[in-house]
Amino acid sequence: MPNPIPSQIVSFLKNKIRVGADGSPFPESKNFSYKDIWHEEHATNFTVAKAMQMDVLKDIHEAVTNAAENGWTLSHFKKELKPLLQEKGWWGKEDMTDPFTGETVKAQLGSDRRLKTIYQTNIRSAYQQGKWERSQNSDAHPYLLYRVGNSKEHRSEHLEWDGLLLHKDDPWWNSHFPPNGWGCKCWTQAISESRAEKLKQSGFDVPPSLDGNGYHVDVKTKAPPETYHQFYNERTGTMESVPDGIDPAFNWNVGKAGRERAAAEKLQSAQLNYNASLLASNIAANEAYIKAHYSTEKFLSTTAALRAASKYTKGMTLPKNVKVAQSRALVKSNEQKRTLAKELKQAGILSRKGHSVFLIPEVGGHGERLKDAIVNGAPFEFRYITGNARRIENKFGDAKNKGADVNVFITVEQNINIHEIRRRIGQVLGNHPEYTGKIIVSTSDESIYFWETSSFR
């Protein structure tokens, strides 16, 4: 591709995570075969078969991105990358052990042919992803036209699809959006409503190429009947039906997958911003409560400070967004150690979901019956439940003895259905109509539920 491609397409390549690198859901061994990373996984992950060294994969990834960003030709791409790979020994053939089978195979590492495949597959996929994105964003272009590229030889099915005009939302594109195989140069063109009508009537002419041959294409508006072949991917253990004319590993829509990834990243970014804002609000609420009620108490905010407080707290860890009153950390017995460890565990469950928790002093003045913690600006009693479901009623009732309006956070360690947990709490509330306040429940999988006592009545 002689010219630089748009920045959003470059970002599609640049934002891919190298398989095996930090942040990748796949281990380094998944770079052994092209079958290890499959279909839509390629939309978010960058892999090259046999590139088991992270520095080699990094060089290839950066070269592909630079080629797209700067409009490198294939020859320029080879000129830049080939010496780097040869210097690191990733060139020619080498005996390698397949981490999946344990067998030693004669593996093809770098070669001029492989660099061509890497260049063409990645650049064309990124370019087509950008074309899909633009077509989906344009209300003025509701159709896509399938076109074959400038290959000397075409797959017979691709020639049959040449000139196929379908709505961009037609499910046919889910498995036939190009590229559709190794070396495939097919592409699509976004078409307006008015041009679609003209194409349906007259088709279009393809001008002569270097070989001097031009031709006419009649536009088709109905996809031909599909025939399939079975493909078993022994690396993933999956059997699938692949449309004839499409190579296995290409029967997915790179544009749609890229668009869905971008939407997911945008949603995740918005969620992270919301969570950060909510956490800041929760911390501020806790700080305000502490200032009003415990102005003379020091609160520990680091694991080091907690471990230094007592010989019983040396092995404890303070979760993020959790603070402990210094007087609570002055543990003097194994029983107090066990209690504090459970409450820190409960605090960690909440903090990992964006909540702020301060464990407050156990002893108050003037006969005050203190709670265990402040959660998002409100005092709570903590109860940690092991054993059968009947203990839920006992522990919840025990917490409510601190006051009819006390808020209660219950952690249920056993695998007890949330509906059963709610039923047990409801029985206690049914016997005590005077009980009010908030209820938080965390289950064995750390799911968290927030209820008002009024919702039980």
Cα dihedral 126/132/137/138 (nearest 10): 130
DSSP state of 220: B
Q: Alpha-carbon distance 257 to 121, whole Å?
A: 16
Give the pair of three-digit tokens for residue 419: 């509906």
- pLDDT greater at residue 79 or residue 364: 79
Question: Do 400 and 432 touch, CB atoms closer than 8 A?
Answer: yes
Contacts of 59 (CB under 8 A, 6+ apart): 81, 84, 85, 88
More confident residue, 254 or 427: 427
Angle of helix 390-400 relative to helix 418-431, nearest 10 degrees, comes to 50
Alpha carbon distance 259, 307 (integer Å): 48
Residue with tokens 């397409």: 9
Question: Among 84-93, 207-216, 358-367, 416-425, where is mean pLDDT lowest?
Answer: 358-367
Determine the average pLDDT of the residues in 246-270: 72
199-235 pLDDT, tens digit each: 999 999 988 876 667 889 999 999 888 899 999 999 9
What are the residues whose beta carbons fall under 8 Å from the beta carbon of 431, sequence distance 6 or more? none
Backbone angles phi, psi at 140, to 5 degrees: -80, -10
Torsions phi, psi for 265 (to 5 deg): -65, -40
pLDDT of residue 152: 82
Total number of residues shown for the chain: 457
**Which domains are present in the chain?**
1-137 (no CATH), 138-247 (no CATH), 262-456 (3.40.1350.120)
**Interval 130-179: pLDDT, tens:** 888 888 888 999 999 999 988 888 999 999 999 999 999 999 998 999 99
Instruction: Give dist(CA 377, CA 282) in Å, integer.
Output: 7
Please check the confidence at residue 260 and state whether its pLDDT lies above 80: no
pLDDT at 393 over 80: yes
365: pLDDT strictly greater than 50: no
Phi/psi at 406 (5° precision): -70, 145
* pLDDT for the residue 129: 85
Model's pTM, two decimal places?
Answer: 0.57
Average pLDDT over residues 193-202: 96
Torsion 301-307-313-315 (CA) sign:
positive
pLDDT in tens, 4-29: 567 777 888 988 889 888 778 888 88
3-class DSSP state of 3: coil
**pLDDT of the residue at 367:** 44
Strands (E), 192-308: 204-206, 215-217, 228-233, 238-243, 299-300
Span 437-452, mean pLDDT?
93
- How confident is the model at residue 41, as a pLDDT? 84
- Average of per-residue pLDDT values in the chain: 90
At 127 the pLDDT is: 87
Confidence of residue 186 (pLDDT cuts 50, 70, 90): very high
**How far apart are alpha carbons 173 and 189 in whole angstroms?**
13
CA pair distance 246, 37, nearest whole angstrom: 18
| Cα 80 from chain centre | 32
Place of tokens 């003895």: 401
Predicted local confidence at residue 181, as pLDDT: 92
**Overall average pLDDT of the 280-287 stretch:** 93
Average confidence (pLDDT) over 290-318? 95
**What is the pLDDT averaged over residues 24-40?**
88
**Alpha-carbon gap, residue 166 to 172, rounded angstroms:** 8
Peptide bond into 179 cis (omega under 30): yes
Average pLDDT over residues 438-445: 94
- Phi/psi at 30 (5° precision): -75, 0
Cα–Cα dist 299/290, whole Å = 9
Rounded Cα–Cα distance for residues 331 and 342 (Å):
13
